[in-house]
Each structure stands twice: as structure tokens, then as C-alpha cells.
């Protein structure tokens, strides 16, 4: 196949927007904001490079949504205060001269917070695994406190306000982070959600908090503002976790997603291998089930910078868009360089170790390029 004819590089139209291609920068935790949670000039350069490099959509790192329970990491950015909104506006404005959309990923860390001294979750269940040192953590996760109904109401109100703040910061939309083991995924996970009220039990109840967030955001933002949802099986602290009933659970969850009606579904894999982590014995994938059940645009990720795999995902209708993480981190000009068949630098673990900051990654990338 001629690279120029590859489906990943073909323009498309979604949400009444003309996209230059089907590439998406996957959300990647960068812990490079100020102590006050302000996006920096370094972050503006980091994100605008993806737009300059030809990506169709950028999804930011996880952004915390309140000042009492949501922040997961030191130097994580927020969208809570006016100063944080103004700081993010500098980032979005740096991208507006390109034909690239940017979505703010809104994230509540829940029991996986490595920052706040008292963590919160659907139920008082201690997470397995250990905190990530690359993001400033060490040792076991804390035993979280179970959220009260009043606390759920409060975090929902502030989550919705953070989406309004994203609109004020001139983002094109938001992605609700319901994946990878963070708070909203904790509600979805029966092993972590032992509640007996309206937020626990069957899938409808476990999904309720997400449905209410989507509905609440819809009421507060213009109709053109895009609202997406990220889901996954694996978790950052438990990469091998899978739903016991596989495709059955996927269909139950996605039936609720369809009813809530976000503008897209982003299916994430935790280990970076789409084919290994996304497929069920009947040869369906979580992404293809999402597309089939919801009828919504679907973003898939997991090593799909490999063009043969990306072609399968798009041509066989598993997904509409392809999110690229590590390859984008290494080279923000990946779309343009790949189209021109210019070699790119290969990803190396040291780019995210011992710290996953923008400055550290760029230092290692520069060192490897000079070798």
C-alpha cells in the first residue's frame, strides 16, 4: 500500500468537524505543571509540536477536577481555578493556528492518588500494586475512604465545572477518564465497588456516576463542545486485569454508554498491545463491540503506530480513529515524517524513567538522536 493511501492518513468528518487525518495523540501523564497545577510555556511548546507535526486530534494528560480529592500526582495540571484556566488557554491558543483539535482529559484519581494524604473511592478497598516512582510515588497505595453520597455529589459538581472551565480555556472538547483503574473505573469494577446504594450492584448502577457526569456537562456547555469517554479493562496498578465475562461485560457496559450518548468512545489498552489486550475468543475486540453497540466514533490504541495493525483496525471497522502514545512522545512530527518516509527515533524506556516529565523525555530523546 502506498503510504499516502493508508487509511490512517485519510481526512474524515466527525462531530461536524473536518479532521485532517485519523491520528490522535494519546493522553500521556507528564507531571510538568507548576506546584499550583498551572500549565507552563514548556507544556504549550510540547502540545503545539503535535499540531505542527500533523496530528488530527490531541488528548491531553489527565487533568484533575477538584482541590479536595482528585489530584493523582505532584505537578499534575488542574482545571479548577481561574489561573489554571488562563494557563491552559495559552496551550490551546498555541494550537489554534493548525487544523488540529485538542481535548482536555478530565481525571479523578480516586484510590490511586499518589498526592493527597487521604484518598477516596467507591468502597474502602485498598488497591493492589505499588505507586509509580516515575510520577512521584513510593510504597503501597493508601486504604481509601468510601465516598459518601454528599461527597459524590460534590465531586460531580466540580467535575462538571472543570468541563465548563475546559470550554472557557478554548478546548474543543473533553474526554472523561473512565479507564485504567482511576476513580470512575473503580466505580465500574465490581471487585472495587462494594456499594449497595444507587452507585453499586448491577452495571447500570455502577455506570450511573459517569452517565450523570455526561448529562451534567451537556447541560452546561454548547452543543458543539465534544464530550468523549475513555474505557479499558486493564489498570495502571493491575495491567493483567480483565473482566471475568469478557465480551458479555463489554456489551453490558457499552449498552449503558450508548444510553448516556457521549460523542466518542476511546478504548484504551494498558500494556500497549492492541491485538493482545483487546480481543475476545470470538475474534471481536472491545473497540469493535463499542462501535457495534453504541454506533459512536471509536478511538483505539495499543501499538497502532505500526501501520499494518492500524490498517486492520480501521479497514475491519474496529475503530474510526487511532491514538498513538509512545511513538508520538518520541517524535511529535510522526504523521508528517511517516508520510514522507523519514525515519523516526525508536522509543526507549529511559524516556519515562526515572521521571516522566517533559524535560526528562526530551533530554533522553536528544541524547539518543545524537548517538
Q: Mind telling me the catalytic residues?
A: 182
Strand partners, 63: 106
SS3 content of the chain, % helix, strand, coil (to 5): 40, 15, 45
> Cell numbers 489527565 correspond to what residue?
62
CA distance 107 to 77: 10
CA distance 79 to 72: 14
CA distance 329 to 344: 11
Cell numbers given for 87? 494557563
Cell numbers given for 346? 525508536
CB contact at 8 A, 234 and 270: yes
Is the preceding omega at residue 354 within 30 degrees of 0, hence cis?
A: yes
CA distance 59 to 23: 11
CA distance 287 to 274: 10
CB contact at 8 A, 63 and 104: yes
Strand partners, 238: 235
CB contact at 8 A, 186 and 231: no
Closest among 128, 354, 74 to 236, alpha carbons compared: 128
CB contact at 8 A, 132 and 40: no
Number of neighbours of residue 89 by Cβ within 10 angstroms: 16
CB contact at 8 A, 169 and 93: no
Amino acid at each position: 500500500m502506498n503510504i499516502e493511501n493508508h487509511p490512517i492518513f485519510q481526512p474524515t468528518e466527525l462531530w461536524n468537524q473536518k479532521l485532517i487525518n485519523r491520528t490522535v495523540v494519546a493522553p500521556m501523564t507528564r507531571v510538568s505543571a507548576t506546584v499550583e497545577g498551572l500549565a507552563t510555556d514548556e507544556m504549550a511548546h510540547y502540545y503545539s509540536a503535535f499540531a505542527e507535526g500533523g496530528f488530527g486530534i490531541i488528548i491531553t494528560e489527565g487533568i484533575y477536577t477538584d482541590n479536595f480529592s482528585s489530584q493523582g500526582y505532584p505537578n499534575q495540571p488542574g482545571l479548577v481555578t481561574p489561573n489554571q484556566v488562563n494557563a491552559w488557554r495559552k496551550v490551546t491558543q498555541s494550537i489554534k493556528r493548525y487544523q488540529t483539535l485538542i481535548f482536555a482529559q478530565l481525571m479523578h484519581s480516586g484510590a490511586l492518588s499518589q498526592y493527597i494524604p487521604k484518598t477516596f473511592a467507591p468502597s474502602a478497598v485498598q488497591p493492589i500494586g505499588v505507586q509509580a516512582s516515575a510520577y512521584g510515588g513510593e510504597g503501597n497505595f493508601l486504604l481509601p475512604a468510601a465516598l459518601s453520597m454528599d461527597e459524590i455529589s460534590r465531586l460531580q459538581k466540580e467535575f462538571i465545572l472543570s468541563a465548563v472551565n475546559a470550554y472557557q480555556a478554548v478546548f474543543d472538547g473533553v474526554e472523561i477518564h473512565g479507564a485504567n483503574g482511576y476513580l470512575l473505573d473503580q466505580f465500574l469494577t465490581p471487585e472495587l465497588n462494594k456499594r449497595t446504594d444507587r452507585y453499586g450492584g448491577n452495571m447500570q448502577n455502577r455506570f450511573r456516576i459517569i452517565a450523570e457526569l455526561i448529562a451534567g456537562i451537556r447541560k452546561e456547555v454548547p452543543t458543539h463542545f465534544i464530550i468523549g469517554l475513555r474505557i479499558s479493562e486493564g489498570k495502571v496498578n493491575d495491567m493483567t486485569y480483565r473482566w471475568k465475562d469478557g465480551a458479555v461485560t463489554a456489551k453490558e457496559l457499552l449498552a449503558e454508554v450508548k444510553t448516556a450518548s457521549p460523542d466518542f468512545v476511546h478504548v484504551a489498552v494498558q500494556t500497549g498491545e492492541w491485538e493482545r489486550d483487546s480481543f475476545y475468543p470470538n475474534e471481536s475486540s472491545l473497540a469493535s463491540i463499542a462501535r457495534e453497540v453504541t454506533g459512536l466514533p471509536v478511538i483505539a490504541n495499543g501499538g497502532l503506530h505500526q501501520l499494518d495493525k492500524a490498517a486492520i483496525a480501521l479497514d475491519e471497522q474496529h475503530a474510526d480513529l487511532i491514538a498513538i502514545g509512545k511513538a508520538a512522545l518520541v517524535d511529535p512530527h510522526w504523521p508528517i515524517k511517516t508520510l514522507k518516509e523519514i525515519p523516526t527515533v525508536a522509543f526507549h524506556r529511559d524516556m519515562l524513567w526515572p521521571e516522566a516529565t517533559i524535560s526528562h523525555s526530551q533530554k533522553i530523546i536528544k541524547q539518543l538522536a545524537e548517538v
